[in-house]
């Protein structure tokens, strides 16, 4: 070994004016990692709150459909929020591992802690109404979320199977006029009130060409879905207000 | 009147505090760890003498820069071994050199490994280092390193946990797997 290693190192420290980093630097870094961990848990929790909100509403509507259990589950699972939860639990895991003592904790325990924390805080956030608020914000500001949700809703539309979805455009003495997702006009017979200029989901059966008899109806979750008949999202939003 | 303790007798932690006040004390830290860390690097790698000196220089500069970040709940030796481990891994990634162990293994170390791994010592004394070295060279780096830390550097599970930043339970599992891999390679090659 080079006998002058220590001299070389000291010379380098002096010539390059190397100084120990300040203590504050390390304290800040440590707190910042904890902050990122907490932020990941908060976002994961919000994802859980929306997840509960979406599942609850979709379960109520999809459970009315006469479709197989597997397909029902496939339609109810909110993949976007589930993916969001998985992503932020992974991020939380990453940051907790990078705290000073994080490496001492069993990785599985970290995942369990993150999942439990997200579920507990997420359920609380749901009770406080965060689920609905966050989903509303997602619809307004994330076009991709709107598109994904719209695609999911399209699965719901199948007049031959007794499911009709569209916007109520007018009313006559004994029926309503409705434009469906494919821009086709329907005469809808229903002995209850339907909201005008709003999107609805109807259950019933085709009684004639372009004529649908409704047994029950469901409102849209948010009433802000982009509809194909609208050129721009703003028009759709305006049209349903 | 109380006598001042000799610098050689000061704890690592005390030396760190002194170095933060006066950089000249850093020489004592370097002198204390230079040999141990050089041997550790040699045992887990096939880096040349010059490479090892370069790594050591980088390690000590990094240690100096990060002295304020030293977590006093750890042993200083665990912290400096961790930095060295990281530097060696980073150097591997840069040079893509295959980790090979030098054959500095004596009978005492062999006995420890043989006892732990539960194999019969039926090799000639002169062949001891070479045989163990050959087996170790065929092992995965992570398993080889953990055997080196446990049986050659004689670190405790807690120290290894702090050096490799893994939970103690994972360290125990890795040591068991490392022993199994050692035994398997040994039996394939020398039985």
ipTM: 0.76
What is the rounded end-to-end Cα distance, in angstroms, of chain A? 80
DSSP annotation of A135 reads: H
Q: What residues contact B27, with CB distance under 8 A and at least 6 apart? A: A6, A10
Tokens describing residue A15: 């010539």
A129 Rama sector, left if φ>0, alpha if ψ -120 to 50, beta otherwise = left
Of B27, B61, B161, the CB nearest to A104: B161
Measuring CA to CA, how many Å separate A116 from each of A41, A119, B80? Answer: 10, 5, 36
Each residue's pLDDT, cut to its tens digit, for chain A (241 residues) gives 556 888 889 999 999 999 999 999 999 999 999 999 999 999 999 999 999 988 887 776 666 666 677 777 777 778 888 899 999 999 988 888 888 888 888 888 888 988 999 999 999 999 999 988 888 888 788 877 777 766 666 767 888 888 888 889 988 888 999 998 788 899 999 988 888 888 888 888 999 899 999 988 876 654 444 343 333 434 433 333 3
Q: Which domains does chain A show, CATH number per domain? A: 23-141 (no CATH), 156-240 (2.40.50.140)
- Contact yes or no for A85/A51 (Cβ under 8 A): yes
Q: State whether B34 and A12 contact (CB < 8 Å).
A: no
Q: At what angle do helices B12-21 and B26-44 cross, to 10 degrees?
A: 130
Q: A158 - beta bridge partners?
A: A163
Residues 6+ apart with CB under 8 A from B30: A5, A6, A9, B60
Token pair 């390690």: residue: B59
By DSSP bridging, strand A163-171 and strand A176-180 are antiparallel
Name the minimum distance, in Å, from the CA of B85 to any CA of chain A: 16
Q: Which run of H or E residues covers position A24?
A: helix A23-62
Question: How close is the nearest chain A Cα to the Cα of B38, in Å?
Answer: 8
Beta strand segments in A85-193, E: 163-171, 176-180, 185-189
Distances (CA, A) of B69 to A191, B14, B17: 74, 15, 12
Q: For residue B27, what is the nearest residue in chain A, using CA coordinates?
A: A6
| Residues 6+ positions from B146 with CB-CB distance below 8 Å | B160, B164, B171, B174, B175, B178
Residue B97 pLDDT level (bands cut at 50, 70, 90)? low
User: Quick one: pLDDT at residue A150?
Assistant: 67
Q: Which domains does chain B have, with CATH numbers?
A: 7-95 (1.10.1740.10), 107-190 (1.10.10.10)
Q: Nearest CA to CA, how far is B138 from chain A (Å)?
A: 27
- What b-and-e string marks burial along B173-185, b requiring 16 or more CB atoms within 10 Å of the CB? ebbeebbebbeeb
Contacts of B165 in chain A (CB under 8 A): 103
């Amino acid at each position: 070994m080079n006998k002058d290693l220590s001299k070389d190192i000291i010379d380098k420290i002096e010539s390059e004016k190397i100084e120990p980093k300040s203590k504050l630097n390390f304290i800040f870094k440590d707190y910042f990692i904890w902050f990122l961990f907490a932020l990941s848990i908060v976002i994961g929790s919000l994802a859980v709150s929306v997840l509960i909100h979406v599942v609850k509403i979709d379960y109520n509507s999809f459970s009315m459909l006469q479709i197989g259990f597997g397909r029902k589950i496939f339609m109810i699972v909110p993949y976007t929020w589930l993916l969001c939860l998985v992503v932020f639990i992974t991020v939380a895991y990453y940051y907790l591992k990078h705290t000073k003592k994080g490496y001492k904790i069993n990785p599985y325990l970290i995942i369990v802690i993150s999942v439990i924390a997200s579920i507990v805080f997420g359920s609380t956030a749901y009770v406080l109404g965060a689920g609905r608020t966050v989903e509303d914000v997602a619809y307004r500001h994330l076009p991709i979320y709107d598109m994904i949700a719209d695609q999911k809703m399209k699965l719901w539309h199948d007049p031959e199977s007794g499911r009709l979805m569209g916007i109520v455009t007018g009313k006559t003495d004994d029926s309503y006029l409705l434009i469906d997702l494919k821009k086709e006009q329907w005469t809808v017979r229903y002995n209850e009130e339907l909201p005008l200029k709003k999107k609805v989901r109807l259950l019933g059966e085709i009684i004639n060409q372009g004529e649908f008899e409704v047994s029950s109806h469901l409102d849209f979750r948010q009433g802000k879905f982009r509809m194909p008949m609208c050129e721009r999202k703003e028009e759709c939003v305006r049209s349903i207000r | 009147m109380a006598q001042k303790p000799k610098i050689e007798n000061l704890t690592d932690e005390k030396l760190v505090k002194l170095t933060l006040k006066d950089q000249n004390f850093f020489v004592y830290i370097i002198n204390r760890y230079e040999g141990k860390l050089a041997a550790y690097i040699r045992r887990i790698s096939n880096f040349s003498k010059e490479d090892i000196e370069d790594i050591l220089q980088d390690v000590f500069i990094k240690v100096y820069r990060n002295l304020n970040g030293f977590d006093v709940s750890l042993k200083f030796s665990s912290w400096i071994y961790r930095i060295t481990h990281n530097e060696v891994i980073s150097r591997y990634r840069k040079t893509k050199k295959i980790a090979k162990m030098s054959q500095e293994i004596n009978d005492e170390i062999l006995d420890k490994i043989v006892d732990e791994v539960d194999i019969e010592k039926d090799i000639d004394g002169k062949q001891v280092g070479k045989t163990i070295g050959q087996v170790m060279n065929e092992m995965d780096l992570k398993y080889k390193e953990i055997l080196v830390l446990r049986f050659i550097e004689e670190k405790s599970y807690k120290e290894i946990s702090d050096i490799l930043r893994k939970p103690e339970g994972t360290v125990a599992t890795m040591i068991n797997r490392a022993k199994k891999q050692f035994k398997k390679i040994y039996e394939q090659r020398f039985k």
